[in-house]
Amino acid sequence: MRVFSFLLKAWAFIRRDFLIETSYRSAFILQFTGTFVSVAIFFFLSGMIRGIAPNMKGVEGGEYFPFILVGIAFYHYLTVALTSFASRVRNEQLTGTLEAMLVTPTRTPTLILASSLWDFVFTSFRVVLYLVIGVGFSRLAGRPFVIHGGGIIPSMIIFGLTILAFCGIGIIVASAVIYLKKGESINSFVISASALLGGVFYPTETMPAWLGSLSSFLPITYALRGIRRALLSGATFGELIPEVRVLCLFVAFLVPLGLIVFRWALRGARRDGTLVQY
């Protein structure tokens, strides 16, 4: 019954956000155009370093274009997991609709979770589009790359764990927004650190050792390494156990921490009367 109630609410939020997003027609269409352009940029860029990539350690499959394509596509997802909760809370605070939602009998964690679902749905479309356009480009150019079908399920497991770990951080940032009304700076820091150290644009092996060692503290490093190995090199689930193990540790630490901090922030905001202030 609870699950059904949650699904009903989740659908209401997705429908609401779809209607609002599509009411800005030009912006909605331009977002898809942007995806096409960025894939094109990375395609031509990868052509420039085509001869170097196969010799670089950590470039799964030996081609830079599929490497960067998978990196960018899933980086988008992780960014959403990180920022969506906080930005939705902030947005509802600013538009004044948060109070109207909080007086309903729907629990606050459900509201926060459900309100960010559209971002995940929309990003899923963008990720699929990224991959489809990428495959199309590579075929047109006569440089098709292979995605290993056997790697899809292991990569989805890794992906799920990574999303959970990032949601833990995202909930902590949302808590900061609820209590302090600011939290974007934490997001910017984690996103930049992930882009710099997590191996989104280049393998972590190309960084100096001292900088590369920092990447081991970020879940995205293990996520991208695991997903690329599964999809581009056809690694089996057994071969991905090291990455899965570390991601499980991140999840076990970050998700409970996020929930504890969130409860604390909510209680504090209610006590201070700042729950709906901005």
Partner 1 sequence: MGGADQRGANQVDAIEIRDLRKVFNKRRSIRDLILHPRTKPEPVVALDGISFDVHQGEIFGLLGPNGAGKTTLLKVLSCLVSQTSGSARVQGNDITNAEHRVKSSVGLVTSDERSFYWRLTGRENLHFFAALYNVPRAEIRRRCQGLLEKVELLKHADQLFMEYSTGTKQRLAIARALLHDPPVLFMDEPTRSLDPSAAKHLREFVVTTLNRKEGKTILLATHNLPEAESLCSRLAILHLARVRRLGAMEEVRSWGDTGERYVIDVAGIAPARLLSSGEDRFVFPGCRFEIKAPEDGSAPDRSILNADLETGGAALTELLRRLIAGGGTIVSCSRREASLQEVFDLVAAEGGGSAPGAQTAR
Tell me: does residue 101 bind partner 1 (CB under 8 A). yes
The contact pattern for partner 1, residues 108-127, with x = CB under 8 A and - = no contact, is ---x----------------
Tell me: does residue 102 bind partner 1 (CB under 8 A). yes
Q: Which range of residues in 39-47, 79-87, 101-109, 221-229 is near partner 1 by CB under 8 A?
A: 101-109
- For residue 249, give the amino acid letter: L
| Residue choice 51, 95, 208, 238 for contact with partner 1 (CB under 8 A) | 95
Tell me: does residue 5 bind partner 1 (CB under 8 A). yes
Q: Report the half-sphere exposure of 263 (CA within 13 A, side-chain side).
A: 5
Answer yes or no: are the C-beta atoms of 255 and 170 closer than 8 Å. Answer: no
Tell me: does residue 106 bind partner 1 (CB under 8 A). yes
Question: How many other C-beta atoms are found inside a 10 Å radius of the C-beta of residue 2?
Answer: 7
Answer yes or no: are the C-beta atoms of 148 and 234 closer than 8 Å. Answer: yes
What's the longest Cα–Cα distance across the chain?
A: 63
| Residue choice 100, 128, 141, 146 for contact with partner 1 (CB under 8 A) | 100
| Residue choice 2, 3, 19, 57 for contact with partner 1 (CB under 8 A) | 19
Minimal CA–CA distance to 76: which of 122, 137, 108? 122
Tell me: does residue 263 bind partner 1 (CB under 8 A). no
Tokens 């947005």 locate to: 91
101 vs 196, beta carbon nearer partner 1: 101
Minimal CA–CA distance to 181: which of 61, 273, 43, 81? 273
- Footprint of partner 1 on this chain (CB under 8 A)? 5, 8-9, 11-13, 15-16, 19-20, 23-24, 95-97, 99-107, 111, 267, 270-273, 275-276
